[in-house]
Amino acid sequence: MNIPRQVLVSLLIGVLPIGSASLFAAAGEGRYDAQEIVRKTERVAYYQGKDGHARVAMKITDAKGRERRRNMTILRADGEDGKSGAGSLQQKYYVYLRYPADVKDTVLMVWKNGEKDDDRWLYLPALDLVKRIAAGDKRTSFLGSDFFYEDISGRRMDEDFHELAEVTDNYFVVRNTPKQADSVEFARFDMWIHRATFLPIKVEFFDRENSKYRVYEALKVEQIQDYPTVVQSRMRDLRTGGESTLEFSRVKYDMGIPDSVFSERYLRNPPRKYLR
């Protein structure tokens, strides 16, 4: 696996280990639990801090090199059970579109409901319409990009079987196979998880013919408020030749975002105080 040098520098020098040794101490040296690795990875990738804010610049590039851009702010808050319990945890997302003009003020809101299907709403300002998004749409394009909705808000870990395929000096390689094969378009996905931080640095998706067709990569990682944070990432679609990159700025954690922000009221009236 080829990891960009900037990522290695950030991960291996600039980011302090966050408990990989203690997590497996009871199991004994050389023994690892894939379920525990994935659980820790889910917490680090999607649940750092009690809430979070980020400006996100998206660039979508097709096979001919043509580019489209999106700019948005993403707010996130965890439920009261945010650091405990089995399976994925309760969480809410608020995605506010800033650019381009034809999508400005569009809002996507997601309620992750632990072990149940997510609730999702889309506000279309041109029609002044709030639209519920079907749960089955979570593996469709996020705002026309190569990322899926599920890539942004996370996939429930209890939807897959997890197997530790390899352990290297720097990575756990975990193979994930869906429990309900007919519910998704992939047959499996393999994750390279950094052992010190538990951040997923690379994810490869394979179809039922065992052909790799999507690849996610974390391109840059920074330490923000003591949390190792992916600030640049890319998703490549190997079938179409397209790719999309996300660049995160103004990242903040533990802002005290009230739960009321994640309600239908604020779909039509964006909470400017928290979107700055």
How does pLDDT run across 69-104, given as a tens digit for each residue?
999 999 999 986 544 334 457 899 999 999 999 999
- Output the pTM of the full model: 0.86
In the chain, where are the structural domains located? Answer: 5-275
- Which 3 state secondary structure label does DSSP give 9? helix
Q: What is the pLDDT of residues 113-166, one digit of tens each?
A: 877 788 889 999 999 999 998 766 788 899 999 999 889 888 889 999 999 999
What's the number of CA atoms in the CB half-sphere (13 Å) around residue 128?
1
User: For the chain, what is the largest distance between any 2 Cα atoms, rounded to a whole number of angstroms?
Assistant: 59
- Residue 208 predicted with pLDDT over 50: yes
- Which 3 state secondary structure label does DSSP give 135? helix
% of residues, the chain, pLDDT over 90: 74
Dist. CA 156–CA 20, nearest whole Å: 22
Dist. CA 174–CA 199, nearest whole Å: 12
Residues in the chain: 276
Secondary structure element (H or E) that encloses residue 119, with its range: strand 119-124
∠ CA 83-38-52, nearest 5°, is 45
Kindly indicate whether the domain formed by 5-275 is annotated with CATH number 2.60.120.10.
Answer: no
Query: Could you tell me which of 191, 237, 194, 235 has the C-alpha nearest to residue 212?
Result: 237
- Which 3 state secondary structure label does DSSP give 259? helix
